[in-house]
Amino acid sequence: MILIHTPSPKEVAAYLELFRAALPRQVFIALDEMHDPAAVEYVITWGPPPALFAGLPALKAVFALGAGVDKLLARSDLAPATPIYRLLDGGMAQQMAEYVRFGVLSYQRHMDVYRRQQAAGVWKMLAPKLAAEVRVGVLGLGEIGRAVALALAADGYSVSGWSRTPRQLAGVDCLFGDEGLDELLAGSDVLACVLPSTPETQGLLDAGKLAALPAGAMLINAGRGDLLDEDALLALLDSGHLRCAQLDVFASEPLPAGHRLWSHPAVTVTPHIAAITLRQQAVAQIVANLARLAAGGDGLGRVVRERGY
């Protein structure tokens, strides 16, 4: 038996329909249909309720309906030996590339400046800048980060990418380690962060790292909110060292009412929509993983707890 749960009943109903159509011989249930917790072998979820996993003695694995698994890893009711599988894409890579492209193009064409000029009633043309003149640094070169970096390189931008371990991507200057991060920051007119939340990345973009960006740079954060020191960002925007920011994720979500990020003229806020899981792609990937497990193999996207992804 496989339990499907998200905080949205409509979303659960949609997933139940898709999974039941894909695997008609398998039993899929919603939380309110769970009459025998001991019969549940797998959970497909996003935002599960507290203590859910502790009451499932036959649980074999958990499938996350997303790429980020930091909240699952932090749960005390999920045994360390229980495998967690994340979505490797689920349609999110293209969306993330579009989101970052939007920010980079806005920077290249001065759209953030023009918005502020509009608010002030200022009519002033700025000198154009070619894509090749914009240096973009991509933090994170996993499945999604690679797609972002390659898309930007195809658009003609000068792209560098950073990862924990060495990578190779055509048309992208791949850097790694502490020295590589310093080099990437110093050479990024736009810094696009798509890193997951792990013990190594939490607090990574602190005051020192943000200040290492060139004067007039832009920050795009579509990874996780706990990577960024929001107060340090605001201070650097106020001082003019950083030109603008496009933020999709925050330390506290929803972003609290009255937070300065809402009203800062150099900040664009979006409500965690940079890359939303597409149901059909997610279902196809999880169905394929269930088949691998049924055949005695391992699924793709198994989370390495020590890494946090």
CA 110 to chain centre: 25
Annotated active-site residue 272? The verdict is yes
- DSSP line for the chain: -EEEE-S-HHHHHHHHHHHHHH-TTS-EE-GGG-S-GGG--EEEESSPPTTTGGG-TT--EEEESSS--HHHHT-TTS-TTS-EE--S-TTHHHHHHHHHHHHHHHHHTTHHHHHHHHHHT---------GGG-EEEEE--SHHHHHHHHHHHHTT-EEEEEESS---BTTBEEEEHHHHHHHHHHT-SEEEE-PPP-TTTTT-B-HHHHHTSPTTEEEEE-S-GGGB-HHHHHHHHHHTSEEEEEES--SSSSPPTT-HHHH-TTEEE--S-SSPPPHHHHHHHHHHHHHHHHTT---TTB--TTTT-
Annotated active-site residue in 116, 259, 272, 279 = 272
Return phi, psi of residue 108, to 5°: -55, -40
Yes or no: say if 134 and 107 are a contact pair by the CB < 8 Å rule.
Answer: yes
Annotated active-site residue 224? The verdict is yes
| Cα distance between residue 263 and residue 260, in whole Å | 6
Annotated active-site residue in 101, 135, 224, 243 = 224
| Cα distance between residue 66 and residue 302, in whole Å | 13
Residue whose C-alpha is closest to residue 46's, from 59, 34, 60, 31? 31
Write out the catalytic residue numbers: 224, 272
